[in-house]
Chains A and B, each alone.
Chain A
Amino acid sequence: MGITKEDLDRIKEEAARAPRQNSIRVGYSTCGVAAGADVVYSALCDEAKARGIDVAVMKCGCLGLCSAEPLVEVDVDGAPHVYYGKVTRDVALKIIDEHVCQKKLVDNHIFEF
């Protein structure tokens, strides 16, 4: 028996009820990967794991701001929800250190749109 309408509703409800999780999203489409999103993604994962931080690092599609790729969206408790653009490995490490841990924003890389 395949998935039913009730199953779909259940998945939706569970997701709505799930507690908000600290998350970092990396734009991981062709544009992002070409600009170095793979390096950024692994740097974020490794650093978060090494420090034992509870944050979900996710691969996502393209948000559309291609000139600012690789784009990283950070949504963690205690700090504003922002997008960082033109992220390199070094900036990724700063994001974990300054933004996620110290709750301070990283200079020069925030893009609002």
Chain B
Amino acid sequence: MKQILIQDTNGNLRKELRDFHVALTTQLRDWGLADAAQVVTVADIGIYQKGIVAKVLPEGFVYVGLEVKHVPEIIEKTIQHGEKIASLAFEKKNKQLRLVLRNCGRIDPENFNDYVANDGYQGLVKALEMGPERVIEEMKKSGLRGRGGAGFPTWMKWNITRAVPGEVKYIICNGDEGDPGAYMDRSVLEGDPNSVIEGLMIGGLAIGASQGVFYIRAEYPLAIERIQKAINECYARGLLGQNILGSNFNFDIEIRLGAGAFVCGEETALISSVEGLRGYPRPRPPFPSVRGLWEKPTAINNVETLATVPYILFHGGEAFGKIGIEGSTGTKVFALTGKVRNSGLVEVPMGITLREVVFDIGGGVLNNRAIKAIQTGGPSGGVIPEQFFDTPIGYESLQKLGSIMGSGGMIVLDENDCMVDISKFYLGFCVDESCGKCAPCRIGGTQMLAILKRISDGKGVDDDLKKLNEIAMAMQKASLCGLGQTAPNPVLSTLKYFEAEYKAHVVDKKCASGKCVKLVSYSIIKDKCTGCGMCGRVCPAIAITGSRADKYSINTEKCVSCGQCFDVCKFGAVVRQ
């Protein structure tokens, strides 16, 4: 039996889709083929803006731009004879490349054998055969850079830590993922815990550490549970402890929980937290590679980095280095969220363009609205407006645009998002999470936030934008750790690309997107109002009254400018000013 999948993505092709579906089912019946093929409407085939899309199984032919007139040809050629119709066919390219997420969703994360059956711990076997120096050499060939955000070459970090004299060394897995909207690490810890453990062991071997620490935030209970189970299993099988795999390599792992402070993702604050102290950052140098946990040389790597390591060791650094672009090799996992159709995790080779990620993989913007920008790198990153979407993704290329790769958050912003509001949100996050140890971050952040609040309340004054720039400079230069140094980035990058929008707030006291509620007012045009009353039903402030005969109107005294009436009105009768 064949299956014909027809994509129904709730688009604006409802009628055409229904006609096509009816034509296909009735004609199949007329041909006496009703039992030979099942017509299935499916939620998504992953092809957009191509009209009606169908896929025929088991052959896997994908047809696009379908109309009712194509039905007989499809039935005759494809259903009866299994032939492909070249004029309708579409080759769907899979733009994702899953190396880090290779096992996520494919294996049972709590089953040790499942991981081993999928080349699990083969990287460690190779690493033990090669020895520390050659492991680091292999990492150098791979060109892997830290996936936590800063992009420091992993081999170099390991090499430095290895070179520092000392009997006792530590390696820490940084699982304190705190960027708003980013959850790559959680997925890897939950979906493939053994890969991170294997990466940590290889790292330990490379730097000469016999103790590894997982630092995971307490908000990830399932991740902690799965990592703990995987560690227990490794101990039970003798894969952790003394003489691992018959070698003279000894390694132990313990878990430490983060109590939910964003600053603890910063390596020196993380070390303080593991030591049981308050999560305050320390001045660097000395860097953790020289003096880290318990004053001993320590390497700290991000979850995604460590999950990549077994792949590199097993398949070779050169193979990995061929993926991606010069200076940014391999793949990167992004958490694609915001106003995008398919939100979720994507793993793509470096060098792919932002447009491909948002439109080809993400399926474009929700509700067919116009895209405005994407935010990358979380509170340390910035926004990238649409005109730069054809930039290949890499550490340097994103930095040039005033943003960063960061840990991999990617938030799609559409025309309904206000840039002042966005920078207020990210800065507010950093002000909340500032540990308060150094003045530039503690006071600078608060002052910048006060200015942004003033602007969005319509009380901005002329030199506010200049002041924002000045304080931002001071914070970047004088803050103690990465949190304060990067906290102004979202403000600076929105100022760079959307200065006109800031000026509209300050000078004209207008917010075009309607997000700054104090700058907008709503009213109803009587002539356009049909009296349906939808606006009155959704109004949370009971500010809209009227009847079918009298039409509706808004009481501006009661109105809270939430904009729900604007969104719900199908007749364009509600206007925003």
> Do A and B form a real pair?
yes
Contact B104 A64 (CB under 8 A): yes
Please report the C-alpha to C-alpha distance between residue A61 and residue B237 in the assembled complex, in whole angstroms: 23
Q: B61 at the A/B interface (Cβ < 8 Å)?
A: no
Q: A53 at the A/B interface (Cβ < 8 Å)?
A: no
Q: Which residue of A lies closest to B337 (CB)?
A: A66
Interface residue ranges of B28-76 to A (CB < 8 Å): 38, 40-46, 55, 57-58
Contact B246 A5 (CB under 8 A): yes
Interface-located stretch among B340-348, B413-421, B567-575: B340-348
Contacts of A73 in B (CB 8 A): 105
Q: B26 at the A/B interface (Cβ < 8 Å)?
A: no
Q: Which residue of B lies closest to A113 (CB)?
A: B46
Contact A62 B245 (CB under 8 A): no
Contact A15 B190 (CB under 8 A): no
CB distance from A60 to the nearest CB of B (A): 5
Contacts of A110 in B (CB 8 A): 5, 40, 42-44
Contact A3 B104 (CB under 8 A): no
Q: A50 at the A/B interface (Cβ < 8 Å)?
A: no
Contact A108 B122 (CB under 8 A): no
Contact B41 A3 (CB under 8 A): no
The count of A-to-B residue pairs whose CB atoms sit within 8 angstroms is 147
Please report the C-alpha to C-alpha distance between residue A62 and residue B345 in the assembled complex, in whole angstroms: 9
CB contact under 8 A between A113 and B343, given known A1-B238, A15-B117, A60-B107: no
Contact B117 A16 (CB under 8 A): yes
Interface residue ranges of B182-221 to A (CB < 8 Å): 183, 186-187, 190-192, 220
Q: A89 at the A/B interface (Cβ < 8 Å)?
A: no
Contact B109 A60 (CB under 8 A): yes
Could you say which of A8, A14, A103 has the most chain B C-beta atoms within 10 Å of its C-beta?
A8
Contact B104 A63 (CB under 8 A): yes
CB contact under 8 A between A4 and B246, given known A27-B105, A80-B57: yes
B15-30 vs A: 1/0 string, CB under 8 Å? 0000000000000000
Q: Choose among B1, B220, B245 the residue that contacts A4 (Cβ–Cβ < 8 A).
A: B245
Q: B106 at the A/B interface (Cβ < 8 Å)?
A: yes
Contact B116 A8 (CB under 8 A): yes
Which of under 10, 10 to 19, 20 to 34, or 35 or more describes the interface residues of B?
A: 35 or more
CB distance from A31 to the nearest CB of B (A): 8
Please report the C-alpha to C-alpha distance between residue A110 and residue B107 in the assembled complex, in whole angstroms: 21
Contact A5 B187 (CB under 8 A): no
Interface residue ranges of B344-376 to A (CB < 8 Å): 344-347
Q: B244 at the A/B interface (Cβ < 8 Å)?
A: yes
Q: A90 at the A/B interface (Cβ < 8 Å)?
A: no
Interface residue ranges of A1-33 to B (CB < 8 Å): 1-5, 8, 11-12, 14-16, 25, 27, 29-31, 33
CB contact under 8 A between A105 and B38, given known A2-B237, A3-B239, A12-B117: yes
Contacts of B345 in A (CB 8 A): 62, 64, 66
Q: B513 at the A/B interface (Cβ < 8 Å)?
A: no
Contacts of B170 in A (CB 8 A): none
CB distance from B425 to the nearest CB of A (A): 21
Contact B38 A29 (CB under 8 A): no
CB distance from B79 to the nearest CB of A (A): 15
Interface residue ranges of B300-318 to A (CB < 8 Å): none
CB contact under 8 A between A60 and B108, given known A1-B238, A107-B40, A112-B45: yes
Q: Which residue of A lies closest to B344 (CB)?
A: A66
CB contact under 8 A between A3 and B101, given known A62-B187, A110-B42: no
Please report the C-alpha to C-alpha distance between residue A102 and residue B208 in the assembled complex, in whole angstroms: 58
Contacts of A59 in B (CB 8 A): 108-110
Contact A58 B108 (CB under 8 A): yes
Contact B109 A61 (CB under 8 A): yes
Interface residue ranges of B220-244 to A (CB < 8 Å): 220, 222-223, 237-239, 241-244
Please report the C-alpha to C-alpha distance between residue A14 and residue B346 in the assembled complex, in whole angstroms: 32
Contact A111 B238 (CB under 8 A): no
CB contact under 8 A between A62 and B191, given known A30-B220, A109-B42: yes
Could you say which of B8, B103, B110, B220 has the most chain A C-beta atoms within 10 Å of its C-beta?
B110
Could you say which of A12, A25, A61, A112 has the most chain B C-beta atoms within 10 Å of its C-beta?
A61
Contact B344 A111 (CB under 8 A): no
CB contact under 8 A between A68 and B44, given known A2-B238, A60-B107: yes
Contacts of A14 in B (CB 8 A): 117
Contact A3 B245 (CB under 8 A): yes
Q: B158 at the A/B interface (Cβ < 8 Å)?
A: no
Q: Which residue of B lies closest to A10 (CB)?
A: B116
Q: B125 at the A/B interface (Cβ < 8 Å)?
A: yes
CB distance from B488 to the nearest CB of A (A): 30
Please report the C-alpha to C-alpha distance between residue A62 and residue B242 in the assembled complex, in whole angstroms: 33
Q: Choose among A2, A60, A67 the residue that contacts B344 (Cβ–Cβ < 8 A).
A: A67
Contact A113 B186 (CB under 8 A): no
Contacts of B40 in A (CB 8 A): 105-107, 110
Q: Which residue of A lies closest to B219 (CB)?
A: A30
Could you say which of B38, B344, B347 has the most chain A C-beta atoms within 10 Å of its C-beta?
B344
Contact A8 B125 (CB under 8 A): yes
CB distance from A104 to the nearest CB of B (A): 6
Contacts of A109 in B (CB 8 A): 42-43
Please report the C-alpha to C-alpha distance between residue A109 and residue B346 in the assembled complex, in whole angstroms: 21
Contact A111 B43 (CB under 8 A): yes
Q: B78 at the A/B interface (Cβ < 8 Å)?
A: no
Contacts of B246 in A (CB 8 A): 2, 4-5
Q: Choose among B46, B113, B191, B347 the residue that contacts A15 (Cβ–Cβ < 8 A).
A: B113
Contact B125 A61 (CB under 8 A): no
B102-140 vs A: 1/0 string, CB under 8 Å? 011111111001101101111001000000000000000
Contact B109 A112 (CB under 8 A): no
Q: Which residue of B lies closest to A80 (CB)?
A: B57
Please report the C-alpha to C-alpha distance between residue A53 and residue B342 in the assembled complex, in whole angstroms: 34
Contact A33 B191 (CB under 8 A): no
Contact A112 B55 (CB under 8 A): yes
CB distance from B324 to the nearest CB of A (A): 19
Q: A45 at the A/B interface (Cβ < 8 Å)?
A: no
5 A-B residue contacts at CB 8 Å?
A31-B183, A61-B192, A64-B187, A64-B346, A68-B43
Q: List 6 other contacts, CB 8 Å, given A64-B105, A85-B44, A112-B46.
A: A2-B243, A15-B117, A60-B104, A61-B109, A105-B5, A111-B43
